[in-house]
Amino acid sequence: MSIRLGKSLIAHRLFGALPFGLALTGLLPAASSFAATYYIAPGGADTNAGTLASPFLTIMRAQAAASSGDTVYLHGGTYSPNNSDLTATNSPWVIVNNITKSDISYVAYPGERPVFNFANVKPVGYRVTAFLVTADDCVFKGFDVTGVQVTIQTNHTQSECFRIAGGNNNHFEQLAMHDGMGIGWYLTGGASNLVLNCDAYNNRGLDSGSLGNIDGFGCHPNKTGGTGNVLRGCRAWFNSDDGFDLINAWAPVTIENCWAFYNGYFTNFVSSTGDGNGFKSGGYGRNGKAIPNPVPRHVTQFCVSVRNRANGFYANHHTGGLDWISNTAYRNNVNYNMLCTLSDNLTDVPGYSQFMKNNLGYLGNTQVTNLDTNSSDVSFNYFTLPVAVSSNDFVSLDESQLTQPRQINGDLPEISFLHLANGSGLIDKGTNVGYAFNGAAPDLGAFEKSTTPPPRLTSLVCEGDDMVLTWVTSPVKTNFVEATTDLGTDFADITGPIIPVGNGDVTTNYPDLGATTNFPARFYRVRLVQ
């Protein structure tokens, strides 16, 4: 099956990710009287005009030229900044790309994959931030950040690929942050930022002073108003500290449909000496210092945690309850550790006021520990239901599937690992907590069993001004393409036009939403559903 989407619809960026649907994401250069377009390329020069034929070299030069609403296309190839490209000092950090202008998009040119290698950025006596984001409403999509260095050999130091220090409503999509010494994505301030379908892997500190600081993703809003930050569809593996870390977060954070595995190890599975948790969801250091009021309830849902050196899912001395919904833990030292601290931020106690539903675990040295079942709502989990979990419950236990390439649209790879097998006693054993499910009740774990799998995108090809999408799906289902100009990040149901595209080969010229709504033909969201 295929569909042709006109340039006026697709424009520059598309978002979408919902259960039982397929987000169709792609990019096309779009002509618009409302915004300008600039280009950078490894062979460019900052003295150029920044056009397709005469591109800039650096993101900073493109930012200087751009205004609100503009797009910067990043051509493929390797960009290799060095110390001469440092643009700001924010002691103890130095910054390479200091993103201060709001509402600018930095996206890979269609069909190309840029790589920013920071291995030659080695300032003496400073930490390194490859991208510092204090602007709002920006987009970063479709490129790699690698080789970020740690150059200070003292205790408790770190560098970062991305640091968000007050930026709001930014989108980070299909990024890969890997093979360096910096944290992949790290937020200290800001609200309503979305991290979608990003990977952070093979990141390790320089020495004992930094190995315990390098997480895949860290979200630590420093104000109670820093709400709405979401990490969705992300993977973190072989990071020397934790996969996902929410310590010292003063506002609630949501982590959903994410995978964390092999954290706390080097790539040869030797201990990195870092903490080694898959999902560290909370806590304030157990040091007697002030805690936020109210204490946030972070949400960790539909996530998978595999073979992390310490805990798969960890409350990390949180001073209150957290929400854990439909997660799967496998082969961690402890699959679920709910250790909490009293409001004095000093006294450790079993986890209280936890909300745990539809969670699943298998193997692991310890299944569940430090949980106060009297004060917590823990019904409908594998450790409270009369179920027994065995290898026969799963289609596959092949961990190598976790690192398979992402789908064409950036979604997590389609795998059978830890999916429930036909006839498993774990199917329909959960409880309805407001999310879509098949059968009589939700299944246990992160993967809902379905007899009619969602459509799968097989190609995305730009032909002239159009983008042609091709997919495969069940012959018994009718497919629908939905589109909207709504740029909200809540991923609520789309209310825009709906076109049934049937089960045969179909080519459809989609309506010109930009013209019919007088909306600037810049960014749209499209999805394929059944």
Catalytic residue ranges: 280
Q: Is the peptide bond preceding residue 294 cis, with omega within 30 degrees of 0?
A: yes
DSSP H/E element including 99: strand 93-99
Distance CA 271, CA 387 (A): 34
Distance CA 266, CA 368 (A): 26
Distance CA 342, CA 354 (A): 14
Distance CA 522, CA 327 (A): 37
Burial of 285 (0-12, 13-18, 19+ CB in 10 A): middle
3-class SS of residue 61: helix
Q: How many CB atoms lie within 10 A of CB 288?
A: 12
Residue 363 backbone zone (phi > 0: left; psi -120 to 50: alpha; other: beta): left
CB 106 within 8 A of CB 116: no
Within 8 A by CB and 6+ apart from 124, the residues are: 151
Q: How many CA atoms lie within 13 A of 151 on its CB side?
A: 19
Alpha helices in 70-192, H assignment, sequence order: none
Pair of tokens at residue 504: 């045969």
3-class SS of residue 399: helix
Distance CA 328, CA 264 (A): 19
3-class SS of residue 62: helix
Within 8 A by CB and 6+ apart from 332, the residues are: 278, 305, 306, 307, 308, 310, 311, 312, 364, 365
Distance CA 353, CA 324 (A): 11
CB 60 within 8 A of CB 87: yes
Pair of tokens at residue 226: 């820093």
